[in-house]
A and B are shown apart, each in its own frame.
Chain A
Amino acid sequence: MQEILQYLFSGLTNGAIYAVIAVGFSMLYSSTDLINFAHGEFVMLGALGMVSLTAGFGLPLIPAFFLTVAGVAAAGMLFERLAIRPVRHPEPIVLIIITVGASIFLRGAGMLIWGKNSYSMPPFSDHPPIDFAGARLLAQSIWILVIVTVVTAALHLFYRRTLTGKAMTACAVSKKAAWIVGIPTKWMVLLAFGLSTGMGAVAGAIISPITMPSYDMGTMLGLKGFCAAMFGGLGSLWGAILGGFLLGILEALGVGFVSSGLKDAAAFILLLLVLYVRPQGILGSADVKRF
Chain B
Amino acid sequence: MIPAKKFRNTVLAAAVLLAASLILSPAIFADSHKDAYKIGGIFSVTGPASFLGDPEKKSMNLAIEQINEAGGVDGHMLEGVIYDTEGDPSKTVMAAGKLINKDRVTAIAGPSRTPTTLAVIPMVKRAKLPFVSCAAGNKIVEPVKPWVFKTAQSDIQAVASIYQHIQKRNIRKVGIITVSNAFGESGKEQLLSQASDFGIKVVSSQSFGADDKDMTAQLTKIRRQDPGAIICWGTNPGPAVVAKNVDQLGIDIPLYQSHGVASPKFIELAGEAAEGIFLPTGKILVAEQLPESDPQKQVLLDYIKAYENKYNETVSGFGGYAYDAIHLLAKAMEGTGGDKAQIRENLENIKGHVGVSGVFSFSKTDHNGLDPSAFVMVRIRNGKWELVE
Contacts and interface: CB of A to CB of B under 8 A. Distances in A.
A256 interface: yes
Interface string A193-220: 0000000000000010011101011001
Interface in B16-56: 46-48, 50-51, 54
B221 A255 contact: yes
Given A6-B249, A136-B248, A212-B240, A17 B269 contact: no
B65 to A, nearest CB: 24
A252 interface: yes
Interface string B271-310: 1000000000000000000000000000000000000000
B218 to A, nearest CB: 5
B197 interface: no
B74 interface: no
A118 B248 CA distance: 20
A10 B116 CA distance: 33
Contacts of A260: 177, 206-208, 217-218, 221
Contacts of B208: 260
B142 interface: no
Interface string A256-269: 10001101100000
Nearest to A120: B269
Nearest to A14: B214
B237 A118 contact: yes
B221 A3 contact: yes
B217 A120 contact: no
B211 interface: yes
A118 B221 contact: no
Contact of B236 (A118, A252, A264): A118
Contacts, number: 84
Nearest to A214: B237
Contacts of A117: 50-51, 265
Contacts of B177: 260
Interface in B218-235: 218, 220-221, 224
B216 interface: yes
A255 B236 CA distance: 21
A6 B216 contact: yes
Nearest to A4: B220
Contacts of B237: 118, 212, 214
B217 A10 contact: yes
Interface string A115-155: 01110101000000100000010100000000000000000
A118 B265 contact: yes
A18 to B, nearest CB: 10
B269 to A, nearest CB: 5
Given A6-B216, A13-B214, A256-B217, A120 B249 contact: no
Nearest to A130: B248
Given A212-B237, A220-B211, A260-B206, A120 B46 contact: no
Contacts of B48: 116, 216
A42 interface: no
Contacts of B337: none
Interface in B151-204: 177, 180
A116 B46 contact: yes
B241 interface: yes
Nearest to B244: A210
A6 B213 contact: no
B3 interface: no
Contacts of A214: 237
Given A116-B46, A118-B236, A261-B207, A210 B271 contact: no
B143 interface: no
Contacts of A122: 271
A122 B216 CA distance: 19
Q: B180, B217, B265, B269: which has the most chain A beta carbons within 10 Å?
A: B217
B250 A136 contact: yes
Q: A17, A120, A264: which has the most chain B beta carbons within 10 Å?
A: A120
Contacts of A46: none
Interface in B236-252: 236-237, 240-241, 244, 248-250
A65 to B, nearest CB: 20
A253 to B, nearest CB: 8
Interface in A1-48: 3, 6-7, 9-11, 13-14, 17
A111 interface: yes
Interface string B335-373: 000000000000000000000000000000000000000
Interface in B301-344: none
19 contacts: A3-B221, A6-B216, A10-B216, A17-B213, A116-B47, A116-B51, A118-B237, A118-B269, A120-B269, A120-B271, A129-B250, A207-B213, A210-B214, A212-B241, A252-B217, A255-B206, A255-B217, A256-B220, A260-B177
Interface of B: 46-48, 50-51, 54, 177, 180, 206-209, 211, 213-214, 216-218, 220-221, 224, 236-237, 240-241, 244, 248-250, 265, 268-271
The 9 closest A-B pairs by CB, nearest first: A255-B217, A116-B50, A10-B217, A10-B216, A6-B220, A260-B206, A252-B217, A212-B237, A220-B211
